[in-house]
Amino acid sequence: MNSKQNPAYKLLLPYKETVQQIVETLNTAKNVLIGTHEHPDGDALGSSLAMLHALESKGITATVYIPDPAADFFQFIPGFERLTTVRPNVDDFDTVILLDYTQLYRTHLEQEVIGKPRVISIDHHYDNTKQAAINLIVPEAAATAHIIFPLLFALDIAVTANIANCLLTGIFTDTGSFMHDSVTPEILQISSYLMQKGARLSHIAHETYQKKELSGLQIWGRALSRILISEKTGVAVSIITKDDLDECMATLDDLSGVVSMLNALPDTSYAMLLVEHEYGKIKGSLRSEPQKGVDVSKIAKRLGGGGHKLASGFEISGHIIQKNGIWYVEPVVQ
């Protein structure tokens, strides 16, 4: 398949000058640092490891840095063992590629990359701050992995089974297992092509959505038992405390999918899950649907976060506490 036969070819047509800049930069690269956002999800990991395999196929040395450890259930992704949480010295690399991160501070590399000429950003979040030297920001893409797929053809890189599994993981997880509104005939064509190249859709689905440890089921039970629906706003909310996580021996990653379950409730405007994943740090996840008419990214932005109109997130300081049967977010006392 040449680039014009690629089912995602049209995706990058409006960005052809930026794509050419990326091609020229990577064709002269020798040692590349790949970075992504904190608490990396399937798209962040799949895109990063797909890029790792792609660059190495061209004889380029590559390292993938993630600010936080990846969830154990992502171990099936080819190259998972290559991920490192050891903070790199950016000066050791001639090129940096940052993926799927929205706000630069979320990569934990902000100070090191600002102003450097060979820093490439590839992302599908419309509110990406575009602080890299080269910014390929494609909001119409369903996932960052969706952007990388046609970019590989521009780079004349063959899609191997390892790359296919990485990219399909990114696409599958960021489209909510093909249930989000971002799923188009093109996405299904790409996924079909990746399966022809060796991606195992059933395995990806099992590892990311179907397999649950006891700790995961227990923490889901607590989240689902605390669902509250506001009569005024129609928002469906649930809350998990740090003590809940500790008592269930669960992690933030075990709650993946809970907010989508809340969003399935009928006659609600959107869903929100609040999790105090570290003492004093609360992560909020927001979900909605097209017919509900709520842009949750606006809510996330007001709280210092961001994302998509139908799926966004934020992090605030505070403690989740309960008094007289009512849940509160209590400010952190400095």
4 within a domain of the structure (yes/no): no
Q: Are residues 21 and 168 in the same domain?
A: yes
Q: Are residues 68 and 204 in the same domain?
A: yes
Lowest model confidence (mean pLDDT) among 106-110, 207-211, 237-241? 207-211
Mean pLDDT score, 317-328? 90
Mean pLDDT score, 163-186? 94
Domain that holds residue 230: 214-330
Which CATH number fits the domain that encloses residue 111?
Answer: 3.90.1640.10
pLDDT reported for residue 7: 62
Q: Are residues 109 and 56 in the same domain?
A: yes
Q: Are residues 149 and 271 in the same domain?
A: no
Q: Are residues 161 and 282 in the same domain?
A: no
Q: Are residues 166 and 253 in the same domain?
A: no
Mean pLDDT score, 216-240? 95
Mean pLDDT score, 174-181? 90
pTM of the model: 0.88
Which CATH number fits the domain that encloses residue 282?
Answer: 3.10.310.30
The count of structural domains within the chain is: 2
Mean pLDDT score, 270-296? 94
Q: Are residues 31 and 46 in the same domain?
A: yes
The predicted-structure confidence for 98-127, as pLDDT tens digits, reads as follows 999 988 999 999 999 999 999 999 999 988
167 within a domain of the structure (yes/no): yes
244 within a domain of the structure (yes/no): yes
2 within a domain of the structure (yes/no): no
* SS3 category, 159: coil
pLDDT reported for residue 295: 94
> Which of 209, 244, 272 is the last residue before a domain boundary?
209
137 within a domain of the structure (yes/no): yes
Helical (H) or strand (E) element with 320: strand 319-323
Buried/exposed 280-301: b ≥16 CB within 10 Å, e otherwise: eebbbbbbbbeebebbbbebbe
Q: Are residues 173 and 223 in the same domain?
A: no
CA 53 – CA 159 distance, rounded (Å): 9
CA 70 – CA 40 distance, rounded (Å): 6
Averaged confidence pLDDT in the chain: 93
CA 196 – CA 186 distance, rounded (Å): 15
Q: Are residues 191 and 311 in the same domain?
A: no
CA 166 – CA 100 distance, rounded (Å): 14
> Which of 191, 209, 227 is the last residue before a domain boundary?
209
Q: Is the pLDDT of residue 332 over 70?
A: yes
pLDDT reported for residue 101: 93
3 within a domain of the structure (yes/no): no
| Confidence band of 4 (pLDDT split at 50, 70, 90) | low
The predicted-structure confidence for 65-99, as pLDDT tens digits, reads as follows 999 999 999 999 999 999 999 999 999 999 999 99
pLDDT reported for residue 95: 98
Q: Is the pLDDT of residue 1 over 90?
A: no
The predicted-structure confidence for 27-53, as pLDDT tens digits, reads as follows 999 999 999 999 999 999 999 999 999
| Confidence band of 324 (pLDDT split at 50, 70, 90) | confident
**Rg value, the chain, Cα:** 20
185 within a domain of the structure (yes/no): yes
Q: Are residues 120 and 175 in the same domain?
A: yes
1 within a domain of the structure (yes/no): no
> Which of 154, 175, 209 is the last residue before a domain boundary?
209
What does residue 187 show for φ and ψ, rounded to 5 degrees? -60, -40
CA 318 – CA 322 distance, rounded (Å): 13
pLDDT reported for residue 156: 94
pLDDT reported for residue 9: 72
Mean pLDDT score, 48-59? 98
| Confidence band of 326 (pLDDT split at 50, 70, 90) | confident
pLDDT reported for residue 55: 98
| Confidence band of 318 (pLDDT split at 50, 70, 90) | very high
Q: Is the pLDDT of residue 2 over 60?
A: no
Q: Is the pLDDT of residue 8 over 70?
A: no
Q: Are residues 202 and 287 in the same domain?
A: no
pLDDT reported for residue 3: 55
CA 333 – CA 65 distance, rounded (Å): 33
Q: Are residues 195 and 222 in the same domain?
A: no
